Amino acid sequence: MWPRDPSEFESLVQPPDAIDKDRSWYFVCIDGQIASQAENGQLRPIDGDGYRWLDLEIAYEHFMGVYQGRACYAVAASGKLPEGYALGGLRGWLGRVDAEIFYLGGRAVQLVDWHKTHQHCGRCGQATVDHASDRAKQCEGCGHIAYPRLSPSIIVLVHRGDEMLLARNAAWPQGMFSTLAGFVEPGESIEQTVHREVFEEVGIKVKNLKYLGSQSWPFPNSLMLGFHAEYDSGEFVLQAEEIAEAEWFKPDALPNIPPATAISRWLIDDFLATLT
């Protein structure tokens, strides 16, 4: 079973009439980082009581929805956190908070970024306001509506017999390998993107695509669609300045691979399970 976004999260534009502010969670974003409290050595979002006493300048507060009875807010703020609070990149939450909290934090970071980059209409340049009934920005002048940005992308594990194709991005440290990935281009189907990206990055052709699942990946706003694909033909021709290394790996000789929180690892683990 692959991890999923929190199934108990209800995405709402307006908060219900009865909200317990003390139990609410506030995902406070400051300069692209996210704030947290520590509880029994574990990070968690700021609760209503803690939020009430923060001496921060609040630029924007956006209701996201309800998770397990808690109202959840994305907050754009500035200022310095008091003692007892921590500020860091969202990647620092990976493996340190429950998957559900990570996904909610990712949602908040993306919504705050969307708010900051959509203060004015992309069509006429006038100011925007929050839409009355949708999670969107609406231009006060021409009425143009802008929804939060999502960038669909594919990520694919290519296999040949019991071997897996893993590659190292040119920007990654030595020894770190993962599956191939790339963004969907206008006019493409998801399947076309898989074929194009694999050929562009490593010069081979694939067949028998199998969709396995997806992951919201808020770095900054990707929606990763995960596939397995079978090797068809070709030899490695690596994309210059993008792929530093690519190799076929046996299950008992894997390099350093991403952690369990990443969809690339889910793809690898799922393939390994088919070999047992």
Average pLDDT of span 38-59? 90
Residue range 114-166, pLDDT digits in tens: 999 999 999 999 999 999 999 999 999 999 999 999 999 999 999 999 999 99
39 pLDDT tier (thresholds 50, 70, 90): confident
In sequence order, the β-bridge partners of residue 73 are 26, 63
What are the tens digits of pLDDT across the range 75-116?
A: 999 999 998 899 999 999 988 888 889 999 999 999 999 999
**What's the pLDDT at 15?**
83
- In this structure, the chain runs to a length of 276
Cβ neighbours of residue 27 closer than 8 Å, sequence gap 6 or more? 34, 35, 45, 46, 64, 72, 73, 74, 75, 104, 105, 107, 108, 109
| Encoded tokens for 208 | 């028998």
**Position of tokens 């920007």?**
171
Q: Is the pLDDT of residue 31 over 90?
A: yes
203 membership: H or E segment, kind and range = none
Query: What is the spatial distance between Cα 89 and Cα 266, in angstroms, rounded to a whole number?
Result: 23
Closest-CA residue to 176 (of 235, 249, 266, 241): 249
Q: Which domains can be identified in the chain, with CATH numbers?
A: 9-117 (3.90.79.20), 151-274 (3.90.79.10)
pLDDT band for 179, please (50, 70, 90 cuts).
Answer: very high
- Averaged pLDDT of the chain: 93
Number of Cβ atoms within 10 Å of the Cβ of 164: 23
pLDDT at 6: 52
DSSP string over 229-267? EEEEE----PPTTTEEEEEEE-TTS--B---TTSHHHHH
- Global pTM? 0.90
5 pLDDT higher than 60: no
pLDDT, tens digit, 9 for 90 and up, residues 198-253: 999 999 999 999 999 999 999 989 999 999 999 999 999 999 999 999 999 999 99
